[in-house]
């Protein structure tokens, strides 16, 4: 079994910063793409940032220049550093990963999410 567990969400004032973490555990051979999505009330789920195993990144336009995604392959962990936070960043942030098991099967997995609230 594969599990993704997020942490680091919370309440922050506009202009503040948070760092989210997501640890992947289980019967893992290789983790390929890792990503952060978010879903706000009344809005569709959107991709915030993604990172390949070699470190290549993609960002949503709303995140460019403010957010940084990174990973530590030795720890099976992906991070999202969020700076200059705005109220419109308020959402549940979800971790996602493409994982190859020791049996050679490639599957996509989701974490349960962590709440980020930006408010004064």
In percent, the amount of the chain with pLDDT more than 90 equals 98
Q: Are 85 and 17 in contact (CB under 8 A)?
A: yes
Q: Which of 86, 80, 91 is nearest to 10 (CA)?
A: 91
Unique residue bearing structure tokens 């460019």: 64
| Mean of pLDDT values over 41-56 | 96
Task: Name the band, by pLDDT with cuts 50, 70 and 90, for residue 1.
Answer: confident
3-class DSSP assignment, residue 88:
helix
Angle 32-37-69 from CA coordinates, rounded to 5°: 60
| Mean of pLDDT values over 88-116 | 97
Which DSSP letter does residue 75 get?
G
At residue 119, the pLDDT reads 97
Task: Name the band, by pLDDT with cuts 50, 70 and 90, for residue 64.
Answer: very high
3-class DSSP assignment, residue 26:
strand
At residue 61, the pLDDT reads 98
At residue 30, the pLDDT reads 96
């Amino acid at each position: 079994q594969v599990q993704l567990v997020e942490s680091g969400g919370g309440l922050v004032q506009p202009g503040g910063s948070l760092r989210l973490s997501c640890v992947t555990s289980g019967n893992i051979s290789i983790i390929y793409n890792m990503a952060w999505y978010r879903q706000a009330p009344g809005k569709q789920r959107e991709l915030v940032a993604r990172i390949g195993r070699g470190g290549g990144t993609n960002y949503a336009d709303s995140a460019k220049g403010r957010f940084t995604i990174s990973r530590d392959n030795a720890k099976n962990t992906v991070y999202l550093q969020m700076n200059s936070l705005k109220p419109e960043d308020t959402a549940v942030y979800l971790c996602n990963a493409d994982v190859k098991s020791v049996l050679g099967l490639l599957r996509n997995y989701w974490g349960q999410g962590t709440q980020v609230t930006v408010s004064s």
